Structure formats: C-alpha cells, structure tokens
Amino acid sequence: MKKILIICTGAVSALLGACVNVDKETAEKPFVYWKAPEEAIPQKTVAPEDITDDKILRDGQKAKPEKLFVRANDKVAAGERLDIADIIDVALENNQTTRIYWFQAKSYAAAVGKAQSSYYPQVSVSGEVYRSTTRSSLGYGGPFLSVGRYYETGFGPSAQINWLLCDFGARSSKVESARQALYAANFEYNRAIQEVVLNVNIAYYSLFEAFGSVKAAKLSVDDARTAYEAANERYKSGVGNKPDMLNALANLKTAEFSLESARSSVETARANLALAMGIRVNQKLNIDENLSPCPCQEAEQTIETLVASAFRARQDLLASYALLKKTQYDEEAARRSFLPQISAAAQGSLTDYTQHGRSTQDNLQVGIGISWSIFEGFARKYDLISAQAARRAQAQTLKQTQIQIVADIWSAYYLYKSSLKQLASARAAVEANNEAYLAVKTGYENGVNSITDFLNAQNRLASARQQEVTALSTVSTSVAKLAYATGALSADSEKMGIIPTIPGEKSQN
C-alpha cells in the first residue's frame, strides 16, 4: 500500500510539471499585436483630478481586435515594390525592441504560473541506502565491557506532501499582483509595436519627401534649362547680352546642384527607413514613391473625443492602470500576511533490510496544522508601509501619464490642423507661381520682361514646389503622430481629404 502511495505521488508531480505553458498568456509571435482579455481592461476610466491615493479601480470592457501582420521579408528579398503596409510588416518582423518586450512578457507569464503554484501541494520523494554499526556493552557497576558489534544495511523510499489549505487571501492577492504585472508587460509590448509603426511612418514620409524633392528639382532643372536656352538664343541672335546668358547658365548649374543634393538625400532617407525596418539597406529595397498612408479615422474627430478615446486605448495608460492594480494587490497581500496559515501534511517511508529475518518497516503520518507568526521585528509592518507608498506613487504616475496624453493629443491635433492649411497654401502657391512663371516667360520672349524677372519667377516656382512636397510630408507625419498619441495602431490621410499629388501636377483638392 505504501509503495502504491509513493508511486502515485511521483506520477501526480510529473503530470503537474508537464502542464506548465506560458505561451497562451502572451502574444502569439513577437510581431503580432497582443489581444487583451476582458479582465485586463479597466471598466471605468477616471480624470486626472479624480485620482486620489485610495482610488480603487475595477475591471472592464473588452478591447477592439487589432490587425495581425503577415510575413513580408520575402518581398524584400524578391525586390518587390513595397508600400507603407508592407514596410510596417517587415519592420515588425525584424524589430528587436518588440522582441525584447515579447520575451519580457513571457517572463511575467511564467511569474504568474509560479504564483499560482502556491495553490498546489508540494510533493517530494527521496530514497536512501545506509550502513550502520552498533557496538553494545554491558556494565557491572564498574567499567563497561564490550559484548559485541552489529552491522545493519537498510534501504527504501520516502515521500512527503505539504499543502497550504488557507492563508486568508494572501496568495490570491499575490497571484493577482503577478497577473496585473503580466497585463502591464503586454500593454507595454503593444505600445512598443505602436512606436515601431510611428517610427516607420516618419521614416517613410521622410523618404517620400526626398522623392518629391527630386521630382521638384528635376522640374526646376528643366525650367532653368529653358531659361538658359532662351537667353543663349537671344545672345547668339544679338538681341540679348552675355551677362543675361551667364546668369541663366549659373542658375541652371545651381538647379543641377540642387538635383544631385536631392538625390543624395533620397539614399540617406532610404538608409534611415531600412534602419527603422530593422534590415540592411541595399538595392533590393524597392520603395513605392507614391505616398500611400495607412487607414485612420481619428483626425476628423474633436479633440475632446480624441482624449476620451486615448484614455481607453493608449497602451501605456492601460499599463499604468494594471500597475496600479498590481500595487493594490501587493498592499492587500501585505495586510493578509498578518493572518495565520492552515496547512496539511503527509509523509511516508518504507525501509527494508538485508539481514534475513529482519522485517520491513513502514511509516505513514498525516495531519493538519496551523501556524501564526506573532512577531518578527516589525518586518511585515514595514512591508505594508512600503506597499502603501508604492500604490500612492503609482497613482501619481497614472495621473502624470494621463496629463501627458492630453498634451500629446493637443500638440499633434493642432499640428495636423495647421499642416492642412499649410498644404492648401503651398498648393495654391504652386499654381500661382506656375502661372506667373509662364507669364514672365512669355514676356521675356517678347522683350517685355528681363532675364532677372524670368529667373526670379523660375526660382519662386521651384521654392513653391519644394514647399508643397514638405507640406504633404508634414501632413502625413502629423496624422501618424496623432494616431500614435490617441493609441491607434496606424494612420491614413485619404479619409481626411488629403489627396497625394506628384509635385508639378495639378492639385486635386
């Protein structure tokens, strides 16, 4: 019977050890957005001024599912043209920061499992073989006289089970504390993904601006060459003069210099984009030159709506909520440590002997006990004070995060609104300068305007084209920053009336 008990105990221990799995507690892969369970989302958000030291938060509503990313590295290897969605996928597949947060979340998931292990019995088995020597003696009222020496060899297994039955909520608080720390780690992992998306968007729009600068510089070279050819033709025909021809030539060379500088900026921006993507820059990195932002619906909402949305969706804020709940459970566990513990224990052993005629010995002991630490030098009291201070500090951190969110949204929102007006002005300036350039060109050809007027008009048109490129890039970047500030995963300007155009073409807005 005792042997069967020991074997069953060992089997149960092995079975429990095989059931450990932390993969279900974190994101499926280190480039896939973590979907928060229902209990991880705060049910009710609070305003910064409503946060007090003793504020208790409750669990709440379910998070909206987010887009999953598919593998895109093969497109890079094949040299296929990549749009912004492909670029983001590549970045998430290769980014080291998201992997760091992912593995950290795995560690916190293991900590939850470790905390839950306190609900299970602790089982240990052992075995021993011993050899003993006994020397007996017999006394007669005087010296002890030896009467013989005996040898004995024994062997056998033993098992012990300890099971904490009740600690009045201390371990449940520790489990919930570990789980909230896991939620915070997963929310921080999601925020890391959002930061990768933001950095890729900014790098992509910088590359788009560099592409646009090249196109604008090419148009400027064409216009400068036209001016030079006209001035040179007038000089050869005796109508113009040499200084005008030389001024037009110098203007052409300046435009060619700007073109080469713009081409160099393209490669610098391409290298920065490859860095944001987490890959090596090479000739196979084929980026679509047409601006194509990702979907977003945030920018046309009011700033109050954006703030309210961010208070529900910002992953760093949700992480702060989780950490606040963690400190609350830590405080509760510190309070519960003053209470007693009730546990059950069982142990058994079996000993056999090599001597013939010596019977096998077995031992089985089962019992329930209670333990209560009365005084330990105020250690638990200091633990409680520390837990209370940590909770209050985290409440202030939460308040600081909320205020920072409001500031981020406020800045990004008005940057976006201003950039829209700048884009409209830049496009209007391109049209006006283009008409002025054509008029001055006609006037120069007819002898009404001077070469100085012609070159000035051409330079103003070139400057207006560059401003349009910069303004469109600024709008796109501001949309990405606004999406990041509100906690959205991606951004798009198409639904907000921002129609991408190639510099030099007619605007469509």
Give the CATH fold of the 22-120+169-339+378-496 domain.
Answer: Outer membrane efflux proteins (OEP) (1.20.1600)
The domain segmentation of the chain, as residue ranges, is 22-120+169-339+378-496
pLDDT at position 498, please?
35
pLDDT at position 58, please?
42
Rg, the chain, Cα only: 38
Distances (CA, A) of 279 to 271, 395, 486: 9, 40, 28
Residue type, 181: A
* 8-state DSSP, 12: H
Query: Could you tell me if 440 and 454 are in contact, meaning their C-beta atoms sit under 8 angstroms apart?
Result: yes
* 8-state DSSP, 42: B
**CB neighbours (10 Å) of residue 103?**
12
DSSP per residue, 59-84: B-PPPPP-PPP---HHHHHTT-EE-H
pLDDT in tens, the chain (509 residues): 445 544 555 555 544 444 556 677 778 777 787 888 877 777 776 665 555 444 434 444 343 444 443 456 777 777 778 888 888 888 888 888 888 899 999 999 999 999 999 999 999 999 999 888 877 665 555 555 556 677 788 889 999 999 999 999 999 999 999 999 999 999 999 999 999 999 999 999 999 889 889 999 999 999 899 889 888 888 888 877 888 889 889 999 999 999 999 999 999 998 999 888 888 887 677 887 776 544 445 566 788 888 988 998 899 999 999 999 999 999 999 999 999 999 999 999 998 888 777 788 889 999 999 999 999 899 999 999 999 999 999 999 999 999 999 999 999 999 988 988 999 999 999 999 999 999 998 888 888 888 888 889 989 999 999 999 999 889 889 888 998 999 887 654 333 333 333 344 443 33
Query: Could you tell me if 288 and 484 are in contact, meaning their C-beta atoms sit under 8 angstroms apart?
Result: no
Q: How many Å apart are CA 61 and CA 55, to the nearest integer?
A: 19
Instruction: Give the DSSP H/E element, type plus range, for residue 13.
Output: helix 2-18
Query: Could you tell me if 339 and 370 are in contact, meaning their C-beta atoms sit under 8 angstroms apart?
Result: no
pLDDT at position 107, please?
93
> Is the pTM for the entire model greater than 0.75?
no
pLDDT at position 233, please?
86
In this structure, the chain runs to a length of: 509
